[in-house]
Amino acid sequence: MGLTGPGEANVENRPAELGQTMHGATMLPGRVASVAAIEPLLRLDNISKDFPGVKALANVHFDLRRGEVHAVCGENGAGKSTLMKIVSGVYQPSSGTITYKGEERHFSSTRESEAAGIAIIHQELNLVPHLTVAENIYLAREPRRGFLGGSFLVDRKKLRADAKRCLDRLGVDINPDRPVRGLSVAQCQMVEIAKALSLDAEVLIMDEPTSSLTEQETGKLFKVIRDLKASGVGIVYISHRLDEMSEIVDRVTVLRDGRYISTDDFAATSIDAIVSKMVGRSLEEKFPERTSVPSDEVIFSAQGLSRAGVFRDISFTLRRGEILGFAGLMGAGRTEVARAIFGADPLDTGTVTLHGHTLSISSPRDAIAAGLAYLSEDRKAQGLAVKMTVDANMTLANMAAVSNRFGLIDFAKHARATKEYIDLLNIRTPSIKQPVRLLSGGNQQKIIIGKWLFRKSKLLFFDEPTRGIDVGAKLAIYRIMDELAANGIGVVLISSELPEILGMTDRVAVFHQGRITGVLETAKTDQEEIMRYASGYARSAG
């Protein structure tokens, strides 16, 4: 149709409701010139962004129409978040222009972009832990009911009611008066979404909104997205969960290494095609062929683990060469059990045995010394020292391996070890001395994985390891898990993604309300059966 190229609107495929916003287009009947009249809601031209040592974006184009969901795809570090931080005024572009509602704009802060009607849900959660949910949602925009002694009085009743309305719209049951501290990652994500919705924006940018949501929560979010779409809001959607995109996405733009690759109608392309554009080659497989073979030898066992009010009577074994899955709904107790085994939370009763030795663990330090590792699902809070450099983080859990016999750090060894894992996991960083907080979200996740691999543990709990990680790196992580298992290292995969459980594990322990309702052989089960156990409808004796 001759209308390709960035920044140009595609006349045939424009959403119907756009017609109302384009008075004037009809004056040019049958002419392609009507393209000019379909000025997109937002248009980015030739955007570049340089950080010290990193060219994060180079001449990127992007446009967003009213009433569409426009996905931005790319590998970890491709520049997706940076591009959207430029739109929302967090960063200034090194060059290029932003055209919003037909006018060239510069936003020097999020406050400015919000005032113009652009809201962003950031990939990293930014809530204030000691404030309540309602206070977080309306931070710095609290409804006021007067002025006293030089400051505003907050209308707490309205604050609470408004916050509740936003939460209800998402169908989440969180008390607006409770502090944010103590909420799960998924709940925090929902609060962030509620906060963005409360702005009633015309452009809504969602950077990995579903990375820690369950399928059900994602479904609720998608319903809200459809409503927003129908009311003409333009939505930018960034996600590594490509499968879920077909439900809501209208167009997709791919970035690779900070460069613009393509924009397509979602219906006219395929996930495979998107993936090849992202990685620059085609990816044949989603899961690697398993090379490790489970033996009869039990290397780890947990017997009768309980923690009052959290989980009860948890028993399972792990055999040499095996990958064991922990499946279940959010809050079923999977993470809690792993944390307790790792000594991060107390255990009331129960014993754990590793290679025939009963372990006595009362802190993560004990657990690490015994050879256990836990890759946490919450990287910010538990996995990383974000202000420290890449190399410091990588070796944090195993300083001994990079020290000489006097206990001093051997810097050459240190650098070699760090570089090895940067290559293995394809971590994008300008140098090993880069502070971790400056890496993209997915690359931060890879650092945590590298850190524990470097520790050479005997048993690893991978808690949602591929959250926010691009397809290529996912495959690399799966390969590593298989390799670990093949080398006799115990691997437990905690995952909410059933395809991942089915694709990678040998057996799966299904959790429901703090108990294991069944341990199933992966080859003989399917999603439906796992869901029956996860929702408590099925239960096996063992």
Ligand X SMILES: Nc1ncnc2c1ncn2[C@@H]1O[C@H](COP(=O)(O)OP(=O)(O)OP(=O)(O)O)[C@@H](O)[C@H]1O
Helix residue spans in 317-405 (DSSP H): 334-341, 364-370, 390-395
Nearest distance from C-beta of residue 76 to ligand X, angstroms: 3
Nearest distance from C-beta of residue 74 to ligand X, angstroms: 5
Place of tokens 């609290």: 142
Q: Which residue in the set 290, 428, 507, 512 belongs to the binding site for ligand X (CB under 6 A)? A: 428
Question: Is-contact 321 295, C-beta < 8 A?
Answer: yes
* 376 is an interface residue for ligand X by CB under 6 A: no
Nearest distance from C-beta of residue 435 to ligand X, angstroms: 8
* Nearer of residues 441 and 490 to ligand X, judged by Cβ: 441
For 426-433, the CB contacts below 8 A with 24+ separation are: 426/472, 426/473, 426/476, 427/390, 428/76, 428/77, 429/390, 430/52, 430/53, 430/54, 431/53, 431/390, 432/389, 432/390, 432/391, 432/394, 433/389, 433/390, 433/391
* Nearer of residues 176 and 441 to Mg ion, judged by Cβ: 441
* Nearer of residues 143 and 435 to Mg ion, judged by Cβ: 435
Cα dihedral sign for 532, 535, 541, 542? positive
DSSP 244: G
Q: Could you tell me which stretch among 301-309, 323-331, 381-389, 441-449 binds ligand X (CB under 6 A)? A: 441-449
* 56 is an interface residue for ligand X by CB under 6 A: yes
Nearest distance from C-beta of residue 124 to Mg ion, angstroms: 9
By CB under 6 A, what part of segment 97-156 binds ligand X?
123
* 446 is an interface residue for ligand X by CB under 6 A: no
DSSP 296: S
* 440 is an interface residue for ligand X by CB under 6 A: yes
Q: Could you tell me which stretch among 51-59, 286-294, 317-325, 453-461 binds ligand X (CB under 6 A)? A: 51-59
Look at residue 82 and give the partner it binds from ligand X, Mg ion, none, a contact being a CB closer than 5 to 8 Å depending on partner kind.
Answer: ligand X
Q: What is the 3-state secondary structure (H, E, C) of 98-148?
A: EEECCEEECCCCHHHHHHCCEEEECCCCCCCCCCEHHHHHCCCCCCEEEEE
For 108-116, the CB contacts below 8 A with 24+ separation are: 113/87, 113/88, 113/89, 114/88, 114/199, 114/201
By CB under 5 A, what part of segment 179-218 binds Mg ion?
none
The binding track of 65-104 with respect to ligand X, each residue x by CB under 6 A or -, is ---------x-xxxxxxx----------------------
| Cβ count near 423 (within 10 Å) | 9
Q: Which residue in the set 86, 368, 373, 439 belongs to the binding site for ligand X (CB under 6 A)? A: 439
* Nearer of residues 123 and 457 to ligand X, judged by Cβ: 123
Residue number, nearest CB to ligand X: 442
Under rule CB under 5 A, how many of the chain's residues touch Mg ion? 4
* Nearer of residues 34 and 440 to Mg ion, judged by Cβ: 440
Name which of 475, 371, 468 is nearest 425 in CA terms.
Answer: 475
Q: How far is CA 365 from each of CA 36, 299, 362, rounded to the nearest angstrom?
A: 64, 21, 8
Nearest distance from C-beta of residue 390 to ligand X, angstroms: 10
Q: Which residue in the set 74, 441, 514, 518 belongs to the binding site for Mg ion (CB under 5 A)? A: 441
Look at residue 176 and give the partner it binds from Mg ion, ligand X, none, a contact being a CB closer than 5 to 8 Å depending on partner kind.
Answer: none
Q: Could you tell me which stretch among 48-56, 58-66, 96-104, 323-331 binds ligand X (CB under 6 A)? A: 48-56
| Cβ count near 79 (within 10 Å) | 26
Under rule CB under 6 A, how many of the chain's residues touch ligand X? 19
Q: Which residue in the set 123, 239, 418, 505 belongs to the binding site for Mg ion (CB under 5 A)? A: 123
CA distance 206 to 244: 14
* 425 is an interface residue for ligand X by CB under 6 A: no
Cα torsion through 106, 86, 84, 440, rounded to 10: -170
Q: What is the 3-state secondary structure (H, E, C) of 264-280?
A: EEHHHCCHHHHHHHHHC
Q: Which residue in the set 81, 187, 496, 505 belongs to the binding site for Mg ion (CB under 5 A)? A: 81
Chain residues binding ligand X by CB under 6 A are 51, 54, 56, 74, 76-82, 123, 428, 438-443
Chain residues binding Mg ion by CB under 5 A are 81, 123, 440-441
